[in-house]
Structure 1
Amino acid sequence: MKAFTHQLSRITQPWPFIIANRSQLLKRYCLLGLLTPGLISCSSVLDHRPLTGAQPTVQQAVDDVRLALEDSLRHPVPSLNVLIQTPTRRVFASSVPGGQPPVRETDNFRFASITKHFTATALLNMHEAGWIDYKAKITDLIPGTQTPYVPNTPEWGFPYKNQITIEQLLQHRAGVFDVDNDSVPGFNGHSYTEYIQLADPTHQFTTEEMVHQLIVHKLFYDLPGTAYHYSNTGYSILGKIIARVYSVRSGSTKTYQDYMRDYIVGATATVPLASLHFPDRADDTVLPIPRIEGLEWLPGNVQKRYADYNMSAQVGEGNGYGTMADLHTYIRTLMKGQNVLTLETVKRMQLDDLGGTFRLNLGYGKNGARIGNIAVIAYDPLTDVSVVAYLPLWDLTEGKDGEISFGKCINALYDATFAARSALGYSGKP
């Protein structure tokens, strides 16, 4: 299997999208929305009772999108799934081929770069607590300590490190070269992580070894703060900062996953989300049952399925897994100021594009793709409508490196979200 991590080119509506583990498959494309409306705080979002009268309408809308994708790809689409909530309705629709069991909103899957939204939330939570200053340079000292955010050692002396801020990393404006996305010299046209994982699927990755590639090859994109360039490696560095800050504050060695569990999703979090996990060890590969396997459809009618996987190369940028139900609760409560961040901080997160993006008629959220899985989460404060959509399919049969058929999958995912909104009387596809 070829490891892969590239962002979409303009084959679909322009929302930044990370594709994990098909290096050089597709190129990056840019942010669409500039409008940032104020937040609307409405009634409780934790009522999971669906309004059954709306179910058939949304189900038909999602069915129509899946069937259209099947017709275009000329083979079955395993499922297309949407969870949507309005101020008065909560509906889950899973469209599957005849005779197949529907996906459940409580099935586990790998949600890839949606992890970045959680990384941003964690850092902003630390900022609210006074543990960090997200405007600080990454070479500055952690508040109240003599420890810098990143090590002050030659092993961390990557290009322009002294000029980079935490905020720039969050915004993909730090210029940090992405050794998980782009080809690195000496690795036969592969990204670093792709090459290593192909050679040894059990390899325990560290942020230090990825940073080492930046140093030895003098790799960077742009001067810090001058341009947008999506970077998984930038978010890996943010994951390292979270682990270092938590270790200093707790007085013991802590990991990125430890902080996510203790403050963002675990039993002691403001809104516990039991299914969400962020494995950081190479031997922590199992996707729990009930689960959905990602499917790759390759030329020659070749199919590959993925579930258990070493995610240690993607800590902080793409290692998350969990259920649609918990992802929905996360984005809805967070964006309404009912989770770990205050409304003021949430507004700053939105205004400054910290960890997510905005899209007209969907709102604020994040998307991601990895090993046969594509998903999006979003909350629209203008209408108080939240949505999670999930497609367990990468079709790579049409176009150079599969970009045409993969683009059809992306478009179908978004079409399903807009169709669900329209079925409930809200503005759909712009």
Structure 2
Amino acid sequence: MQMLHRNIHRLSGTSLLVWALLGTSGTATAQSPAAELQRVLAAEVAANPSLPGELLHVHAPAQGVDTTLAAGVFDRVSGRPLQPRHGFRVASVTKTFVAAAILRLHEQGRIGLDDAIARHLCPEQAALLRGDGYAVDSITVRHLLTHTSGIHDYATDERYYAAVFADPARRWTPLEQVRSAMQGGEPHFRPGTGYHYSDTGYVLLGAILERLTGQPLARALRTVLHFDRLGLDDTYLESLEPAPPGAAERSHTYFGEIDTSAWDPSFDLYGGGGLVSSARDLARFYRALLRGQVFDRPETLRTMLTVPPTSVDSPGGPYAIGIQRATIGGEECWGHTGFWGTVVYHCAGPDVTIVRHTNQAQPDGSFIYRHLFDQIAGVLGMGG
């Protein structure tokens, strides 16, 4: 989605405003970790004029911290303060959910990770890929999960995003997005021989989930991953299912100065993105996932965290199956980033989970969070 952000600056053409209204959760004293985290968060919003608002959730039981904090505004027009309870579009963080669902079906013997995708795609999708030179009998499910298929990414195609900007209300289909990817030309490489991040691969995985379960994607994710059992009360696939009763209100999302909140979410929806969630829900999911509470067998989590040799040096950190490794405060952590400034990491050693979200598109979201997370690690005494 980096191409999209470059288009933003051509279209908006005006400077961004600074917003730094504060919102807090709880009654922390000035000496508490929560109060220090609020100070760090407010300072980041004040120092970054492009950020209307930002949310931060930190769960660190050993330090007695379990808090969601907010700084800035919900939207620029009303200037209403962003609140800890607000929800947001998580963009590519959705990929971890899709990958976990595929792995759950793998545990149940319903799909093999080394199955050729030709076995599981609908004939129309398979024909479209074949027609553009993709060896669907050689590309495996694992290749899609690890971005090692060589398939082009529709989310970096300028023609696709020109069409999105030209008609923000358009309802896109998964097949149209795969077709857009095919405009990119020949495959990047032979399957399994390189790394190229591809939303297209996860759109195909979403379609595979639907075919294997016989359910629409939203229902498949909800039932296969047991959202109810995990306590994911604010999490839903936008426009493909209703928001759960009492779910958090979704904050506005901006491309530069353009408010995209009313845009049809289908431009980033069918597996590569699309979930709406809250900071607390994301923390619950990633902590449960990385503590082995989502899968039936420990080896499934080990499989998920295995990084292919081709992906060790991928941008943003080594990429495994729908999840990425990072070092925070000297600790090994696993998580994912999303285009709307969403970043989630769980560090198993100290049992720390950090969720950060902004309501501004960030093309370099994989890297911009690191200074903030290092400060959080310092507050929590990680690596000390």
TM-score for the superposition, normalised by structure 1: 0.70
For residues 261 and 226 of structure 2, what CA distance do their matches in structure 1 show?
22
Residue 160 (structure 1) aligned with residue 114 (structure 2): no
CA shift for structure 1 position 51:
10
Amino acid at match of 2:127: P
Q: 1:344 to 1:313 in 2, by over 3 A?
A: same
Conserved 8 A contact 2:151-2:187: yes
The alignment's C-alpha RMSD in Å is: 3.4
Conserved 8 A contact 1:109-1:322: yes
Residue 326 (structure 1) aligned with residue 296 (structure 2): no
Amino acid at match of 1:171: T
Match of 1:313 in 2: 267
Conserved 8 A contact 1:66-1:77: no
Q: 2:113 aligns with which of 97, 111, 134?
A: 134
Amino acid at match of 2:58: I
Matches of residues 216-365 of structure 1 in structure 2 within 5 Å? 218-247=185-214, 254-267=215-228, 270-279=229-238, 281=240, 290-297=249-256, 303-314=257-268, 315-352=270-307, 353-361=320-328, 363-365=333-335
Conserved 8 A contact 1:54-1:91: no
Residue 390 (structure 1) aligned with residue 357 (structure 2): yes
CA shift for structure 1 position 344:
1.9
Match of 2:149 in 1: 174
CA shift for structure 1 position 119:
0.7
Q: 1:107 aligns with which of 86, 96, 101?
A: 86
Amino acid at match of 2:210: A
Q: 1:177 to 1:224 in 2, by over 3 A?
A: same
Matched-pair identity in %: 22
Match of 2:40 in 1: 64
Bigger helix fraction: 2
Residue 118 (structure 1) aligned with residue 97 (structure 2): yes
1:45-89 deviations in Å (ceiling 9; x for gaps): xxxx98957984343344235425534x4x484333321122332
CA shift for structure 1 position 126:
0.6
CA shift for structure 1 position 351:
1.7
Q: 1:138 to 1:415 in 2, by over 3 A?
A: same
Q: 1:295 to 1:59 in 2, by over 3 A?
A: farther
Match of 1:368 in 2: 338
Number of equivalences: 342
For residues 296 and 263 of structure 2, what CA distance do their matches in structure 1 show?
31
Q: 1:206 to 1:101 in 2, by over 3 A?
A: closer
Residue 80 (structure 1) aligned with residue 54 (structure 2): yes
Where does structure 2 lack aligned partners over 5 or more consecutive residues? 10-24, 74-78, 308-319
For residues 243 and 330 of structure 1, what CA distance do their matches in structure 2 show?
21
Residue 419 (structure 1) aligned with residue 378 (structure 2): no
CA shift for structure 1 position 246:
1.1
CA shift for structure 1 position 317:
0.4
Q: 1:151 aligns with which of 112, 123, 127?
A: 123
Amino acid at match of 1:308: A
Amino acid at match of 2:5: R
For residues 282 and 81 of structure 1, what CA distance do their matches in structure 2 show?
25
Conserved 8 A contact 1:94-1:102: no
Q: Which secondary structure state, in structure 2, belongs to the residue aligned with residue 360 of structure 1?
A: strand
Where does structure 1 lack aligned partners over 5 or more consecutive residues? 8-20, 27-48, 141-147, 183-189, 248-253, 298-302, 396-405
CA shift for structure 1 position 256:
1.3
CA shift for structure 1 position 279:
3.1
Conserved 8 A contact 1:76-1:97: no
Q: Which secondary structure state, in structure 2, belongs to the residue aligned with residue 162 of structure 1?
A: coil
CA shift for structure 1 position 341:
4.8
Q: 2:346 aligns with which of 358, 369, 379?
A: 379
CA shift for structure 1 position 380:
1.1
1:247-273 deviations in Å (ceiling 9; x for gaps): 2xxxxxx22112012222543xx4241
